[in-house]
Chains A and B, each alone.
Chain A
Amino acid sequence: DTAVSQTPKYLVTQMGNDKSIKCEQNLGHDTMYWYKQDSKKFLKIMFSYNNKELIINETVPNRFSPKSPDKAHLNLHINSLELGDSAVYFCASSQDGGQPQHFGDGTRLSIL
């Protein structure tokens, strides 16, 4: 009964490929997020969705496309992967904007 679950946990792929990361929350929250954590552990917001609507798109290359089929899911699709995309990607959810955010365990993406 994991609250925020992401799949896969690890993703190793080659430069130029396209990949997706899935996220699901069973907390009944209205808002979901994607964050990127780089090799120095810096965490930055990428996207925020509220009730399936995009609220924040934080200067992320348009190779990254989030999709929210319903309030419980926010998937991240990445086209033409580059070496600099190697990072840990975290999904999170909250009841509403500004409320405490609960994080998934992260997806470690490694680009060869």
Chain B
Amino acid sequence: GEDVEQSLFLSVREGDSSVINCTYTDSSSTYLYWYKQEPGAGLQLLTYIFSNMDMKQDQRLTVLLNKKDKHLSLRIADTQTGDSAIYFCAEIYSGYALNFGKGTSLLVTP
């Protein structure tokens, strides 16, 4: 598929909010996903949003979807050092596979 774009790095202080942005390519993607990968670990499904929604909130996580601009964002409130990880945005590709962005490395400093 075409490239899903994400900024590569983000550094925030503990307690601040983090916002990770993503631009996807396929407007027909039924769901859009955020995955988290900690160092040396697998991919954890963090949250997802159905394409007919524009916002989803789940505890400290808020997902915003702008379909017109094909823009997806993930906001993490009260960011903790345990949130340091790589965050991948993903869209559905060919109806089955995930087309991932290159990942945003989030560093949370004390």
Q: Which residues of A contact B (CB under 8 A)?
A: 31, 33, 35, 40-45, 48, 50, 55-56, 58, 90, 92, 97-106
Contacts and interface: CB of A to CB of B under 8 A. Distances in A.
Interface string B12-44: 000000000000000000110101010001111
B88 A90 contact: no
Instruction: List 5 A-B pairs, minimum CB-CB distance, nearest first.
Output: A45-B97, A97-B96, A105-B42, A103-B43, A43-B100
B42 A98 contact: no
A31 B94 CA distance: 14
Contacts of A41: 37, 86, 102-103
Nearest to A50: B96
Contacts, number: 62
Nearest to B92: A98
Given A41-B103, A105-B41, A105-B42, A100 B94 contact: no
B88 A98 contact: no
Interface in B84-101: 86, 88, 92-100
Nearest to A6: B42
Task: Summarize B's interface: helix, strand, loop or mixed.
Answer: strand
Interface string B45-88: 10010000000000000000000000000000000000000101
A55 B93 CA distance: 12
Contact of A58 (B33, B88, B97, B102): B97
A45 B88 CA distance: 14
Among A40, A41, A44: residue with most chain B CB under 10 A: A41
B88 to A, nearest CB: 7
Nearest to B29: A98
Given A48-B96, A92-B43, 9 more contacts: A33-B98, A42-B103, A43-B100, A44-B100, A45-B97, A50-B96, A98-B95, A98-B96, A106-B41
